[in-house]
Structure 1
Amino acid sequence: MSTDTMPLLDGDAALRSMDLLRFATAGSVDDGKSTLIGRLLYDTKSLFSDQLAAVEAVSAARGDEYTNLALLTDGLRAEREQGITIDVAYRYFATPRRKFIIADTPGHIQYTRNMVTGASTADLALILVDARKGLVEQSRRHAFLCSLLRVPHLVLCVNKMDLVDWSQEVYDRIADEFTAFAAKLDVPDLSVIPVSALQGDNIVSRSENMPWYEGPSLLHHLEHVHIASDRNLVDVRFPVQYVIRPQSTTVTDYRGYAGQVASGVVKPGDEVMVLPSGFMSRVAAVETADGPVEEAFPPMSVTVRLTDEIDISRGDMICRPNNAPAVTQDIEAMICWMDETRPLQVGGKYTIKHTTRTARAIVRGLHYRLDINSLHRDDTATELRLNEIGRVRLRTTIPLLADEYRRNRTTGGFIVIDETTNRTVAAAMIVDTA
């Protein structure tokens, strides 16, 4: 690895304190997603020499005339043989300004569920289009899915500009068409960047081949996009994952509640309420593995101690008295079905995992199936099959402590599990808690 990145080794305190950006890539088959990620890793000197050597060797064995950087992410044998991305590949790299986690998601329609998985936790999504083809069905599909998943920032990368002679006219036409489509969706922040992933133009540094483009390079945008305000720091939500009671003869009065802050800021002295019991208390201390802290915010994992001994267990939630999630057993949700063997049907019984709480649920109704290409609602649908999305009504056996997904992506999302196979069969976003 280059000496430029040596100060960014994982043990370094400066690296641990850096901002983290999670972003997902999406696009149609052969638009160059894996090549773009490989170019980012290569140009930021985030590769070990043996990784690069292995890619060069495989490229030579395949008869490629260049080092095929897509091989850095297309790790499955089937992916390499078919030249497509199937699984979600996660890669990590860092620059002096920010840390990054990349989810390289599949482009093909049959892997929509994989794309949903990769984008569900993303702060930003990169949608690639081939400059020669312009917007295709998959481009619109992925833009809609990113909007549905409430990804705060969207970047359209018009790739393969080298194959259209770096034409500003081609870029402007695609940018205008995509901007018009995005206006129909809920896209808070949209940027459009012309790139050539294969040659590296506008990836890390500005391209000399496109002097007409006055915006930043892709990496510059990724490093500087403002994500701090994307986090919900108003609604305190602390799902309890584990109750800590030290088994020690010297410590008899310690009771801590461990978990990850879903939203809001938790500080010692705050008045809090515990759901679903409704008991009130105050925060006595907030502790981490490195010792007490003055405040905790998402996505910190902490232990909270209260001034009162209250009966709290896994699945309960600590919140503020006048700002609480809904306590409900009836929820409306948009659901993406991921099971290829059995469809979702009205009357079906499943297990759902919501934050740290697990409940059984029955599907009370399927309002409509959504055609995510035309945005048309089919209200005659009676089931959801693999990769299909629809709005359902669920009734749970115990109350969920939930928010609408548009307000809180953590407390507004859940997964659905088949009780007989224990497989995850769907991901869902709560749209109404009434």
Structure 2
Amino acid sequence: MSSPFVISRVPPVSKSLTIPKVKTFENSKNNIDIFLKDDIIESDDVFEQYLRLTKLVKHLSVKEDYLRDAIKECRNEIAHSNEELKILQSVPLLVGEFLEAIDKNYCVVETSAGINYYVRVASNVDKSKLHPGTAVGLMKRSNALVDILPPDCDNTVNLLKATEKPDVSYGDVGGLEVQKQEIREAIELPISHGYLFKQIGIEEPKGVMLYGPPGCGKTMLVKAVATSTKSNFIRLVGSEFVHKYLGEGPRLVRDVFRMAKQNSPCIIFIDEVDSIGTKRFDTKAGADREVQRILLELLNQMDGFDQSSGVKVIMATNRVDTLDPALLRPGRIDRKIEFPLPDRRQKRLLFNTVTANMSLANDVDLEHYVALPDKISAAEIRNIATEAGMRAVRNNRYSITAKDFQYAYDIVTKKCSEEMNFYV
């Protein structure tokens, strides 16, 4: 008689069970290798297969723990690297210019000394923002590129936005009606109504030259132009183009016109242009040759931009007779506006403008000073009004009398021999 409890063997598995391969894992901290051989279990015993699979699960669990520890260590290393990077970026950096990308990790930059270097690019730098001419921050020792600087970090080129323009209007400029009309036609009209020139079939003026004695309102009128137009404004003095190192001056000229094109419509005002625009001559002096190279680059840039670019150039000088003829030719400077010393009518307008907000006594007769034959400039007329007000303040008065004006007029025109005593 057989036992009621019969243990029957499980039927064999018809197909073999394949165990996936577990690749070698190296823990950076403990150097422990976990691996399983890639074999095929062909045993018919299910229990044996179960043991093997259980062992595999344990190995995978251990591997998961090691991976979690490795991820944690990597995160700590990343945080530590970010802290070191912040320390590196907090130290003083050299300002350079990005020239060309060699590959993903290296590029060519130019330092402020005009020397090109093949340097490494930090991994945190957004390489999509690196373009030729971009201002970058360089490490002091290795010159490695570690940061991208704002476009306006270079203070050699001052771009005045609409909110930064001088608060000077055409009404603040006394007289000069003819000059105002000419500069409006040459500068403002092409920017605001450029389609009129296309309909007529003529080219827009590129540049304007303002010339005349000092203090006759050239710079003042340019400030009014900058305020009245909605365009950007770049103001430079001719001597700013002259630098210590060779090539820096022509590079600054290129940067000025490049910035003007990027921020068009834009007006470029170069004051005292005679410092770089004098007639060329044969010389062996390095400084004179550098000034001539600056002039050549300026001529090239004025030929290079077209009328539709929205860039206009205004130049001012007191010595137009010393300028190079190539700079004054039509096509570069299309209009020359003279600012002479004011005549009697202009004097009247200037005196009325500068004294409009002044507290004058009833005995002040401005027409008397207008009729005087002395040749005085607009700046001297403003100085007369200022000196008259200072004398009234010195004498503890709130209004300006005729004696104050006469004293100020004599001081400015060098006719006064009275010694001033500020401590009486």
User: Structures share a fold, TM > 0.5?
Assistant: no
TM range (shorter): under 0.3
Q: Highest CA radius of gyration, 1 or 2?
A: 2
> What TM-score does the superposition give when structure 1 sets the normalisation length?
0.20
Q: Would you tell me which structure has more helix in proportion to its own residues?
A: 2
Compare the two structures and name the one with the higher strand fraction. 1
